[in-house]
Amino acid sequence: MALAGLLLEWPSIRELTKHHVEREGVRHISEYPISQEQNRGVLMVYGRGEDARPSRQVREPTDHGNLDMADDSSDIASPPPAVDWSQLGGLSPPDQVEYKGGVLVDGNPDFSEPKVWTYVESFKKNILNMHPIIEPKLLDNWVRYFLDNLPASQPRPAKPQTSKPTLAVGGGSQTEKVAGSKRKRSPGSDGSEPPPPAPSRTGQPDRSIRTALVLTVLALGKVCLHRGNVPDVVHPTEHPSHDSPVIRNGAISPRANRCSGPAYSSQSHLSGLPSPKAEAGENPGNCPSIRSVGASGAGHIPKKNCEVIPGLEYFAYATDILGNHIVAYNNMEDVYANIFAGLYHGQLGRPMESFAFIHTASHKLQVIMRPSLDKMRRIKRNNEFIQETKYNQLALTFWTCLQLEGDLIAELQLPPSGLLSYEDDMPHPNMSRLEGFDQRILDSYSGQLYLRPHLNRIHRMFYVPEDPAKPGKDKFGNVGVVSDVVLGMHWVPVSFAFREDDPPADDILAARLRAKYWGAQVIAYRPFIRQILQFSHSIKNHASSPNFPSVSSEFRHNITAPAIRPKTRTHGYIDTQVVELAEKGIKALIESTRAFHGLGDKRPIITNVFGTAHAQWGNLLILSAAFRDPILHTYVDEELLRTLFHKTIQFLRQSATATSALRTDMHILEGLERDLFGYDHDPRANSSFSSGTSAPGYHTPRPVPMAVQPQMPHQTGDQRHL
């Protein structure tokens, strides 16, 4: 098992990072990072923050070894659930203010056709290019049906003339509305009031599983258009400062009024419930005035999560529907919707929620494909191509679920769904039968499919005990043979051909494929790096001890691989093959780390933000230990390592939300960078995750967002999160 978090237990790495790890409150390395992720509150799709309980509040340092609630925590002290969680019935009840954003003033998401098709195209470009499991034409038909069947939204009734703040999209004095002001309506030609506008199709959609599928597509499409830092939730303690642009420019927060005035009744139908404050008899006249809010920030009500996290307004509706269909096992659209829901959480760097949906999709898929298993086995056994659409869709979905579930299990100790047990019986999909995709997308997917089972076999042969009674396994018994399988590059589609000394690719599909290739090399050669690091640590600390610790091997006993002999006591007597293979491992770590460095400055859209960033952190730990090693330092260029540190920390800064374990990863790397290179700065001075700027006194190159993914083997054991 080689979870990135467990690298902290390597003696040479522990020596480098121990004080940083302790400073971050990580007491139980075997539980890192899963305990921190498991302790995070659930994302409130309708309200604010992650969880209202005190035990879930952001705190530093965090004890990552304790999953229990704090002794002094109490739900009694928590805000009313409706405040943060909202109530049944819609994305509101609103805070008695109108605002512009992803959710319209009637409480519904924006289902206007231009917006919908923009998000659908983004979904195709950013998600279907990596996982072509739905043909674009079929998706378009589903979206068209969804739009055509939206209920009409009737014009809103006239409201009582009450004080209610609003904020238009633009800035400047002409867009501001202050308390008590009201806009005059232009009379009609005969002097009467103009007729109400015709109803538009923006009402709430039905609760069919296809609706949930389309909504998850819209959510993913919208969040993929966001290329800045990974969006975080609205934490209850956040308030705008006097220097914030809104206050400084004299604009009034659209959520400035906490009170539930009469205007609330016009919107309370969304939840079917009266205003909690109005029900309690609270007088709106006692609330802070709008002017006092604008002047001092008093009475500020933070935005809801759906106002700051792109796509959450669609996702909230989708998950409501998915909850109603949790018992269904007869519809592939249900599986697709759960996959996309998992991918949405993946974009937010929330691996536990992502795993929940991917695990559900994998579980449902196993039930749905059960009647087809014999047919699929025959196709695989006879080396045939799938010809029927039904079986092709099953194969496409199977391999997608297997990849996504493996991505998460690779970094977190989570129970698998059992999908992996079907790997040897499942044929690859027939990519030639798919329509509407660019050939490069199909070629890229085919290359990924080739490498995945290859990487899984490496893991099983080298890292986990194999059942000798289990027939049919393609066994590798020699490290050289394993490497040669992919070294020949015969598996690479012509459109993606590359050499090992090529610069990083400049498109996402090529970068993913190269990163996967280098990941295979990392898995094969990493044990030799560990052997040398372990030996060097023993020489340093136990050279004169009669009980000189022997160097352990990660390989199974029947695998042919060079090793440091038990009686070796000096570096000069290490088998040269061990050193050569360790050098190849360092080369693989470096190349997989910079596989995405040719994609430009914007944060690339990758499948699993958390897994990619956390695995990248693990790679830097190994390279740092190698940099300090008397033998391996020869193969780690200092300037290159500095560059990798800068870019990896920048990527973590973009990816780490307030309660994510990635924030701890970032702090550890910042401290390690300071130790290695003597930077005189306090990297914690930059606590903002909405800006790519450096901390005061922290000199770094121009920030270059990077996503790189060398992975360590675990369970399915490949270089993943791509």
CB 479 within 8 A of CB 559: yes
**Residue 96, phi-psi category: left (phi > 0), alpha (psi -120 to 50), beta (remainder):** left
Instruction: Out of 407, 435, 463, pick the residue that ends a domain.
Output: 435
What are 124-160's pLDDT values in tens digits? Answer: 999 999 999 999 999 999 999 999 999 876 555 554 4
Q: Is 520 in contact with 454 (CB distance < 8 Å)?
A: yes
- Mean pLDDT for 417-429 is 94
Residues 391 and 418 in one domain: yes
Contact 13, 625 (CB under 8 A): yes
Residue 139 within a domain: yes
Q: Name which of 218, 269, 237, 240 is nearest 94 in CA terms.
A: 269
Query: Has residue 705 been placed in a domain?
Result: no
Instruction: Tell whether 226 is covered by a domain.
Output: yes
Q: Which residue has the higher pLDDT, 550 or 467?
A: 550
* Domain finish residue from 379, 409, 435: 435
**Has residue 166 been placed in a domain?**
no
CB 472 within 8 A of CB 567: no
Q: In terms of domains, do 457 and 571 share one?
A: yes
Confidence category of residue 239, pLDDT binned at 50, 70, 90: very low
User: Quick check: is 602 in a domain?
Assistant: yes
What does the pLDDT read at residue 621? 97
| pLDDT > 70: percent of the chain | 64
Q: 458 with 505, same domain?
A: yes
Helix, strand, coil share of the chain (percent; to 5): 50, 0, 50
Residues 224, 336, single domain; the answer is: yes
Does the structure show a pLDDT above 50 at 359? yes
Same domain, 385 and 457: no
Average the pLDDT over 32-58 and give the result.
Answer: 80
The angle at the Cα of 94, spanning 91 to 97, to the nearest 5 degrees, equals 140
Taking each helix axis from N to C end, the angle separating 389-409 and 332-347, rounded to the nearest 10 degrees, works out to 30
Rounded mean pLDDT of the chain?
A: 76
Give per-residue pLDDT as tens, 432-444.
999 999 999 999 9
pLDDT at 325: 95
Nearest 5°: the CA angle 446, 449, 451 is: 115
Number of domains forming the structure of the chain: 2
pLDDT class of 104 with cuts at 50, 70, 90: low
Q: For position 439, what pLDDT does the model report?
A: 95
Amino acid 96: pLDDT: 44
- Provide the pLDDT for residue 303: 85
Is residue 329 within 8 Å of residue 258, measured between CB atoms? Answer: no
Mean pLDDT to the nearest integer, 100-107: 60
pLDDT at 583: 96
In a domain, 690, yes or no: no
Q: Quick count: other Cβ atoms within 10 Å of Cβ 358?
A: 32
- Which of these three, 435, 463, 483, is where a domain ends? 435
Could you list the residue range(s) of the whole structural domain that residue 118 is in? 41-48+108-149+206-230+306-435
Given this model, what pLDDT does residue 515 score? Answer: 85
Count Cβ atoms within 10 A of the Cβ of residue 52 and give its class: 0-12 exposed, 13-18 middle, 19 or more buried: buried
Q: How confident is the model at residue 374 (pLDDT cuts 50, 70, 90)?
A: very high
State yes or no: pLDDT of 253 exceeds 90: no
CA distance 292 to 178: 11
Q: Is residue 428 part of a domain?
A: yes
The rounded percent of the chain whose pLDDT value lies above 90 is: 45
The predicted structure's pLDDT at residue 88: 54
At residue 627, does pLDDT exceed 90? yes
Provide φ and ψ at 560, rounded to 5°. Answer: -85, 115
Co-location of 459 and 429 in the same domain: no
Quick: pLDDT tens for 477-490: 676 676 666 666 77
pLDDT at 170 over 50: no
Q: State the average pLDDT over residues 275-284.
A: 37
pLDDT at 682 over 70: no
In a domain, 719, yes or no: no
pLDDT in tens, 178-194: 334 444 444 444 455 55
Q: Answer yes or no: are the C-beta atoms of 671 and 678 closer than 8 Å.
A: no
- pLDDT at residue 568, as a whole number: 80
Higher-pLDDT residue of 565 and 153 is 565
Residue with tokens 């709008």: 290
User: What gap in Å lies between CA 664 and CA 31, rounded to an integer?
Assistant: 14
Q: Can you tell me the mean pLDDT for 594-609?
A: 85
Q: Are 401 and 539 found together in one domain?
A: no
* 487, 407: one domain: no
Whole-angstrom Cα distance, residue 285 to residue 216? 42
The residue-averaged pLDDT of 258-284 equals: 35
Determine which of 34-48, 452-466, 503-517, 633-647 has the lowest per-residue pLDDT on average.
452-466
Indicate if the alpha-carbon torsion angle 331, 116, 270, 76 is positive or negative: positive
Say whether 166 sits in a helix, a strand or coil.
Answer: strand
295 vs 515: which has the higher pLDDT: 515
Amino acid of residue 626: A
Whole-number pLDDT of residue 642: 96
Q: Give the model confidence (pLDDT) of 384-409 as tens digits.
A: 999 999 999 999 999 999 999 988 99
pLDDT at 559 (0 to 100): 72
Can you say how many angstroms the Cα of residue 167 is from the centroid of all Cα atoms in its chain? 32
One domain for residues 423 and 407: yes
478 by DSSP, 3-state: which?
strand
| pLDDT surpasses 80 at 342 | yes
In this structure, the answer to whether residues 411 and 475 fall within a common structural domain is no
Considering the domain architecture, whether residues 497 and 550 belong to the same structural domain is answered as yes
Number of Cβ within a 10 Å radius of residue 153: 16
* Best CA proximity match to 607, nearest among 444, 484, 490: 444
Q: 596 and 633 share a domain?
A: yes
pTM: predicted TM-score of the whole model, two decimal places: 0.78
